[in-house]
Amino acid sequence: MTFRTKLLFISSLTVAGAVALVTGAVAISARRAFERIDQTRREALLDQFRRELDARGQELARQIEQVASSPAIEQIISGTAEYDRAQTEAQSQSLDFLDVVQPDLTIISSAHWPARFGYKNDWNISPEDWKATNSFLARIPLPEGNAVALVCVRFAPGGKALVAGGKKLSPELLKSLGIAPGMRALLWLAPSELIDAQGPVANPEKLASLIADVKGSGRQSTATVQWNAQKSSSEAFLAMPLSERRQLMGVLLAGTSLREQIGLERAILWIGILVGGSGIVIGVLVGWWTTERVTHPVERLAAGARAVAAGDWSTRVEVLSHDEIGELAQAFNQMTEHLIEQRDRAIQAERVAAWRELARRLAHELKNPLFPLQITIENLQRARARSESEFDEVFRESTATLIAELSNLKTIVGRFSDFAKMPPPRFETVDLNQLVRGVMKLHEASLLAEGRPAISLSLELAAGDPRIAADSDQLRRALGNLVLNAMDAMPDGGILRVATEKIENGVRVSVADTGQGLTPEECERLFTPYYTTKHYGTGLGLAIVQSVVSDHHGKISVESEPGRGATFMIELPLTQGDNI
Amino acid sequence: MKRIPSRWIAAASALVALAPILTTLHAARRPRYGGEVRVEMRAALRTLDPTSPAADSLGLIPAVFETLVRFDEHGDPQPGLATSWTHDAARKCWIFAARPNVVLHNGAPWSPRGGVIEVPDDRPLPKILRDLARPSSAIVVRAEDGSLVGTGPFRIARWEAEKSARLAAHDAYWAGRPFVDAIEIRMGRPLRDQELDLESGKTDVAEILVMDGRRLRQKGLAISATPPLETLALVFENSRVPDATKEALALSIDRATINNVLLQKQGEPSAALLPRWLSGYSFLFPAARNLARAKQLAVSSQPLAFAYDRQDEILRPIGDRIAVNASEAGITLRTASGAADVRLVRLPITSRDSSTALEDLAAMLKLASPASAPFETEQALLNGYRVIPIVHLPQMWAITGAVRNWPRLADVWLDAVAPGDKP
């Protein structure tokens, strides 16, 4: 991740985080405010229901008193009316339930269940209810189950019978509460009976846990219910038990729709997202501008450094400011100038050293043949003073020696000439394994020469005969040099292991010996021209190998430890660009 | 001159003074001809074809179409269009002698070939007679225009299917012309409308529910009733209901209260299929409630789906009461509208012959009817509580004071009071 990206990320994150914090705080505050208001509204609704129930109870008491004193009740008591006459009376007074019962509670006529005449009324009416002025809640048995009703009991004139009537707790009662928009009152009266002002409520099981909680504790309880997959269908409920004589008759639930609250929260969220998004965009733009000003010089410095690393030491960075970045650019430019100066000095010193080394080597190489030449010529001069026959003999020997030493000098000069005139490679497709086998074939005789300590050969060639683009002559010469070096490294015999293997995008050729090995210092200088560890070497063999490998765009390395032999590894690419 | 005793003079004067009154009273009890009886009925008949089953609560079909034989109120076979019957030598064919001088409603004489009707049937005679007495065996002649022509006391003067009909007196009826000139019938009239029409003088005869008889009598209306012609019974449709539960339900029913309170004592509580007037032995089937035994039998009983027509003014209260009775015994009857374990039904008594009636009841209940004496047959039908009779019901009508002999249509006549007058 670039410095600029980091800066942009941090600035954007800061803006988004700040907006998120503000949005969250506003949303939580709004939600709490809504909840407080809703709680107050729900409690007010419960109070309103209680007052409505009281008012209806008083009205019911008046109705029952009227019914009890009506002629119809007298006819029912006297047995002159039909058995279901109470139905007519109940309808006339809009009562849902009406039982005319004897003092022993035997039903004379029942409006809501006419067939129960002759049976005992089982509304759990106690004698104190007969004289009670207030209405009360009772659970009334019906053919299809029980119903909860507001009930009142009065004596008929003369005390011959009791008139018990009631009104079912129905949607109409809830409708009359005049509930504010967004609120509703629900009544749970039985496991399968949950009503609101419109009638039965769908999915009553959603409120089962809340109702069970109220039934179990006998206290108010709250819960939030989500009616469908839409979160906006959520509704917060405050539930209150409706009890009579410690018997639970039902549960009243005051519900508040959370649609508005959720809508507001969503609006806040969207505003937050909008503001946050805008902030991020602005942050990104501002950050971009800022980071551009900060990172651009840094990037140019980085580009300059990369150019220097790539070898372009003439690279300069424009100094655009006088701040820390400007000082850095100035220091960079000074550094490159110093580097160039040091490089030039190093090149000069190296060149001098190379010439010195070349001179030393030349002197060394030429000194050896020159000394015999001088001795031979001096012998010839001295032999001139001898007899002719002796002179002739000395002359023959001396000229042979001179020719041999001159040939030796020619060879030395030829080697130096060859190194200087290394031609560019001519690439062709080469079967590497075949080439290796050819090289080993060439040196097989040397390995098996009589009187030489035994060197066993181990060939481990890659499967599939890898083919590469190479100059077969140069490669053969390079491998030959490595093999000769290995053989020279094992004067007491050993194992020569030559291996080829495929590597990623190329091949590797290893030539390993079991000789005395090399020190790390020797390994470092091994490929330097004219450096040799042998008493008779020119120090050009491995230099030529390195030159060939370099011309093949490969690389050569050596692994060695003293006493454990050395392994030279040449890695070559399969192809040579456009050359083949 | 011998002086006439004053007491004789007083007696003669009294006779002279009372003579018109006595004459009038005598005339009022004697049937008179003429007039038209207006009748309303709840059923809406599509046809009077005897071969098509119809809710003929008024007995219109027998008034138009006659059978060869009929059963009297004692259940004895009586000659109808056949005056006598005998069998051939091989006892394979019964020969019924056709009644002479029978005239069809279209004026043509009814004269079977040879004056006899041969019925090839080797079953016992009582069975043959029972079948011949069924309305579906009535003598019907199809006229050229496709209309059905009978020989009964009334002919179809007008027929508007499901709306109204007019039956006119058959002047050439072999047993003598009926007293009234015609019977005007309005069909498909709700009971409440019929009662209002009767009170407003728009009809002479209105059907009523049995439980309304007492109330209407108190209002001063004349009530005419048949003997019980219908049996209310519980029928188990689910054969997997345990017999103990069935018996418990039978024992839990308080028939007396149902009759006394719900039916205003107009029915005949009974645990028998046939009413007492028809069989004479219905008291042999115990109808008393035994709640304690019912509770014992109902232990661990499962709730039963209980169905009855809740639009029926008679079935609804009785069904509700039965559910309450059952609940007291520990049996839960849950009201069902479709398939049910037990159903409360009305079973019509189709014949005045007990065997025929039982045979028809067995057919209605899809039960096998053993060929034995009526008592044994009924005992077999009731065995296992597959059917639990509750009460027998008569048919009842509220009529104006002028209508006499209702509901025997052939004998009905109108008293001196003008037809349609309010009672």
The alpha-carbon gap from A146 to the nearest alpha carbon of chain B, in Å, equals 14
Find the domain containing A110 and state its range: 69-168
> What pLDDT does B422 receive?
41
Same domain as A572, residue A475 = yes
Is there a contact between A34 and A264 (Cβ–Cβ < 8 Å)?
yes
In a domain, B138, yes or no: yes
Rounded CA gap, B214 and B195, in Å? 14
In a domain, B17, yes or no: no
- Decide if A143 and B261 are in contact by the 8 Å CB cutoff: no
- Least CA distance to B321: which residue of chain A? A115
Same domain as B214, residue B310 = no
Which residue in B231, B149, B179 sits closest to B419, CA to CA?
A: B179
Same domain as B181, residue B136 = no
Same domain as B113, residue B240 = no
- Decide if A119 and B257 are in contact by the 8 Å CB cutoff: no
A503 close to B (CB below 8 A): no
Same domain as B403, residue B387 = no
Q: Is pLDDT above 90 for B159?
A: yes
Backbone φ and ψ for B22, nearest 5 degrees, come out as -65, -40
- Least CA distance to A115: which residue of chain B? B321
Find the CB nearest A114 among B215, B317, B335. B317
> What pLDDT does B382 receive?
93
| Longest CA span, chain A | 191
Omega before A423 within 30 of 0, i.e. cis: no
pLDDT tens digits along B381-391 = 999 899 999 99
Same domain as A86, residue A142 = yes
**Which burial class, exposed, middle or buried, applies to B154 when counting CB atoms under 10 A from its CB (0-12, 13-18, 19+)?**
buried
The alpha-carbon gap from B334 to the nearest alpha carbon of chain A, in Å, equals 8
Same domain as B324, residue B236 = yes
Same domain as A516, residue A540 = yes
Find the domain containing B116 and state its range: 66-142
Which residue in B334, B218, B325 sits closest to B262, CA to CA?
A: B325
In a domain, A351, yes or no: yes
> What pLDDT does A580 receive?
44
- Decide if A119 and B328 are in contact by the 8 Å CB cutoff: yes
Question: Which band of pLDDT confidence, cut at 50, 70 and 90, is reported for residue B4?
Answer: low
In a domain, A249, yes or no: no
Lowest mean pLDDT among A173-187, B117-131, B290-304: A173-187
Rounded CA gap, B374 and B349, in Å? 14
CATH number of A365's domain: 1.10.287
Same domain as A569, residue A432 = yes
Domain count across chain B:
3
- Decide if B321 and A115 are in contact by the 8 Å CB cutoff: yes
**Amino acid of residue A54:** D
Rounded CA gap, A117 and A100, in Å? 9
- Decide if A83 and B262 are in contact by the 8 Å CB cutoff: yes
**Amino acid of residue B226:** T
At how many degrees (to 10) do helices B315-329 and B243-252 cross?
Answer: 110
Same domain as B330, residue B207 = no
CATH number of B373's domain: 3.10.105.10
Same domain as A537, residue A452 = yes
**Which burial class, exposed, middle or buried, applies to A401 when counting CB atoms under 10 A from its CB (0-12, 13-18, 19+)?**
middle
Q: What share of chain B is helix, strand, coil (3-state, %, to 5)?
A: 30, 25, 45
> What pLDDT does B132 receive?
92
Task: Report the DSSP pairing between strands B148-149 and B141-142.
Answer: antiparallel
Same domain as B247, residue B215 = no
Place of tokens 């002159």: A80
In a domain, B5, yes or no: no
In a domain, A352, yes or no: yes
CATH number of B121's domain: 3.90.76.10
Give the SS3 label for residue A388: helix
Mean pLDDT of residues grouped by 10 in chain A (580 residues)?
73 79 82 81 82 88 90 89 89 92 91 91 76 80 85 88 90 82 85 84 88 89 88 87 83 85 82 82 80 77 83 80 82 86 79 72 73 84 83 86 84 74 83 91 80 85 90 88 87 90 91 88 74 66 84 89 89 75
Same domain as B260, residue B112 = no
Same domain as A449, residue A344 = no
CATH number of B417's domain: 3.40.190.10
Rounded CA gap, A317 and B352, in Å? 131
Rounded CA gap, A225 and A227, in Å? 6
Same domain as B241, residue B356 = yes
> What pLDDT does A579 receive?
47
Same domain as A505, residue A363 = no
Backbone φ and ψ for A469, nearest 5 degrees, come out as -90, 115
Same domain as A402, residue A530 = no
Same domain as B310, residue B192 = no
Same domain as A551, residue A441 = yes
Residues 6+ apart with CB under 8 A from A355: none
Q: What mean pLDDT is reported for chain B?
A: 88
- In order, the DSSP letters of B106-172 are TS-B---GGGEEEEE--S-HHHHHHHHTSGGG---EE-TTS-EE--SSEEEEEEETTTEEEEEE-TT
Could you give the C-alpha distances from A336 to A298, A309, A342, in angstroms and in order?
Answer: 16, 11, 10
Which residue, B117, B142, B167, sits at the end of a domain?
A: B142
Which residue in B223, B198, B221, B204 sits closest to B417, CA to CA?
A: B204
Residue with the larger pLDDT of the pair A382 and B275: B275
Neighbours of A392 (CB within 10 A): 12
**Amino acid of residue B214:** R
Is there a contact between A57 and A134 (Cβ–Cβ < 8 Å)?
yes
A127 close to B (CB below 8 A): no
Rounded CA gap, A91 and A392, in Å? 169
CATH number of A495's domain: 3.30.565.10
Q: Exposed e or buried b for every residue in A423-449, given b needs 16+ CB within 10 A?
A: eebebeebebbebbeebbeebeeebee
Chain A positions in Cβ-Cβ contact with residue B324 (cut-off 8 Å): 113, 115-116, 119
Give the A window 155-194 contacts with B, CB below 8 Å: none
Domain count across chain A:
3
> What pLDDT does A257 receive?
85
Backbone φ and ψ for A104, nearest 5 degrees, come out as -85, 15
CATH number of A111's domain: 3.30.450.20
Same domain as A453, residue A519 = yes
Same domain as B268, residue B168 = no
Could you give the C-alpha distances from B370 to A124, B76, B172, B241, B285, in angstroms and in order?
Answer: 53, 21, 43, 24, 18
Same domain as A377, residue A443 = no
Could you give the C-alpha distances from B123 to B70, B93, B130, B131, in angstroms and in order?
Answer: 18, 9, 11, 11
> What pLDDT does A435 receive?
92
- Decide if A115 and B335 are in contact by the 8 Å CB cutoff: no
Could you tell me the pTM of the whole model? 0.61
In a domain, A188, yes or no: no
Q: Is pLDDT above 60 for B418?
A: no
Q: What is the DSSP letter of A315?
A: -
Record the tokens describing residue A114, joined without a space: 């006419």
- In order, the DSSP letters of B326-372 are HHHHT--EEEESSS-SEEEEEEE---SSHHHHHHHHHHHHT----SS
In a domain, A572, yes or no: yes
Q: Is pLDDT above 60 for B421?
A: no
Same domain as A142, residue A81 = yes
Could you give the C-alpha distances from A306 to A301, A312, A316, A317, A336, in angstroms and in order?
Answer: 9, 9, 12, 12, 12
In a domain, A213, yes or no: no
Same domain as B362, residue B257 = yes
- Decide if B324 and A119 are in contact by the 8 Å CB cutoff: yes
Q: Is pLDDT above 90 for B185?
A: yes
Find the CB nearest A116 among B215, B324, B335. B324
pLDDT tens digits along B353-396 = 888 899 889 999 888 877 788 899 999 999 989 999 999 999 99
